């Protein structure tokens, strides 16, 4: 009985490790897609000083406020 339970626990741990690895790969792909989208956007055309200033302002305002102002 105890052997079956331990085997089940081991199988669950293995599945959890595989799932964690899949989540990690997904997060990496999402980051790559975001970077690619930004590289293709108008933001890539800004010089570094303007980009830094814009990003700083966006950070100050917060994403919700930035979206609100852009949609207004």
DSSP annotation of 46: S
**pLDDT of 68:** 96
- Determine the distance from the C-alpha atom of residue 72 to the mean position of all C-alpha atoms in its chain, rounded to a whole number: 27
What parts of the chain have a pLDDT lower than 50?
Answer: none
pTM over 0.75: no
- Alpha carbons within 13 angstroms on the beta-carbon side of residue 40 total 6
3-state secondary structure of 6: helix
Residue found by looking up tokens 């964690």 in the block? 20
**pLDDT of 2:** 77
**pLDDT of 19:** 98
**pLDDT of 56:** 96
């Amino acid at each position: 009985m105890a052997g079956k339970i331990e085997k089940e626990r081991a199988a669950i741990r293995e599945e959890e490790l595989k799932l964690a690895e899949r989540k990690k790969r997904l997060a990496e792909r999402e980051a790559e897609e975001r970077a690619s989208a930004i590289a293709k956007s108008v933001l890539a055309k800004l010089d570094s000083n303007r980009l830094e200033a814009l990003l700083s302002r966006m950070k100050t305002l917060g994403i919700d406020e930035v979206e609100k102002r852009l949609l207004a």
